[in-house]
Chains A and B, each alone.
Chain A
């Protein structure tokens, strides 16, 4: 059930940012999947998170025209980084959780920007990095933590639904 929830959220975020939010080129919005990856890193072990990250990363790389593999790379390394960070950070803290989300957005913005400026066959000018990355980080710092809270609330709702479903069925799985 939790895989289903994660895949639906992943697909929804992907579609939302490539249809509704992809309107203008003047506002540099960040990848909405970055807070989702941080959420997976904080709340889910690799067994539950890695398949979703691989599928999400490949899908994002497939629909994007950038360097293939850059989203997959960013998501996997970000997940590893968050798993390491929560070993010594108290992520329930009101300040640390938004900081972790912002750090995730910064990391992903820099990885994608690096791929476009250095690794791409027709690289972008280096000076174009600053406005894009700074815009994305600003948006990420302001809205990312709220997205994270939304994912956590959604997971609690899914857990409650699952528990009530099994309790209605009874201990032997019969209604």
Chain B
């Protein structure tokens, strides 16, 4: 009744359909099913770490001994100082603005110091379509899923998967990323989402808020992941449409994700449950 060829074509069509359905199901989850992702991290990441270490040592020898010894050292020192200064400056601005707003309050919330774990980037995502990195610290070092990852320049991303010694970090620029943020000067609030390429989209900013290109966007602390006041990026484009209650805002992150080498993982969650809550 049916030729062999027709049956073969039907089988292929069914297999493709099943395949697409399975991919659609897994596509709705940000994590690999049943620890398969962690398994891959355990197997591949140690090799990545050794390869990266070798590459960095070769690069280091070249930079420090063959290519302008003194300038490379001075550059490293200046970069470190600049990072610290930026962080300090940002903290001062945040404190100044918070003081102005809250000076009428009688009690001040005590700032909680949060431990940070320094980690080295050992690998990056093989695909152009997802922005993740692998770092050499895992659950054994206190890194937990959902922990924020930062550097002095600003927010890097969030840990999405962690094995014993390695963790996968979803970068701020990935479309799956979202940070509750506000414009530092005007306190206009919105959600910064990854735009895919080198930029982010600042969603849900009301049209009534006056913001301008160049304004600094910082984390609001209201998402329960990122602590308040961490630098996210600078507003690079604003489109105010005639209709709608929101404006379209693009943000350029402060972090250069192409040259990331070391990051800090904040080990405790920003949101702390009070003893009365369950």
A91 to B41, CA, bound (A): 36
Q: Using Cβ atoms and an 8 Å threshold, which residues of chain B touch A29? A: 128
Q: Using Cβ atoms and an 8 Å threshold, which residues of chain B touch A20? A: 51, 55
Closest to B19 in A: A73
A136 to B233, CA, bound (A): 29
Given contacts A22-B125, A122-B176, A123-B175, contact A63 B134 (CB under 8 A): yes
A59 to B39, CA, bound (A): 8
A70 contacts partner chain B, Cβ-Cβ < 8 Å: yes
Q: For residues 1 through 24 of chain A, which have their beta carbon under 8 Å from a beta carbon of chain B? A: 11, 14-20, 22-24
A113 to B127, CA, bound (A): 9
Q: How large is the interface on A (under 10, 10 to 19, 20 to 34, 35 or more residues)?
A: 35 or more
- Tell which of A24, A64, A136 has the most Cβ of chain B within 10 Å: A64
Given contacts A63-B40, A63-B41, A68-B36, contact A14 B19 (CB under 8 A): no
CB–CB A132/B126 < 8 A: no
Q: Using Cβ atoms and an 8 Å threshold, which residues of chain A touch B242? A: none
Closest to A33 in B: B126
Smallest beta-carbon distance B42→chain A, Å: 9
| A-contact bits for B48-62, CB 8 A (1 contact / 0 none) | 100110010000000
Q: Using Cβ atoms and an 8 Å threshold, which residues of chain B touch A63? A: 37, 40-41, 44-45, 123, 125-126, 134, 168
B198 contacts partner chain A, Cβ-Cβ < 8 Å: yes
A125 to B197, CA, bound (A): 11
CB–CB B23/A19 < 8 A: no
Given contacts A15-B48, A62-B41, A69-B23, contact A122 B126 (CB under 8 A): no
- Tell which of A20, A25, A136 has the most Cβ of chain B within 10 Å: A25
A-B pairs with lowest CB-CB distance, top 4 = A62-B40, A65-B132, A22-B124, A116-B129
Contact sample, A vs B, 20 pairs, CB 8 Å cutoff: A15-B47, A17-B126, A18-B126, A19-B55, A22-B126, A25-B197, A58-B39, A61-B32, A61-B40, A64-B125, A68-B37, A70-B23, A73-B23, A115-B27, A119-B20, A122-B174, A122-B175, A122-B193, A124-B129, A124-B175
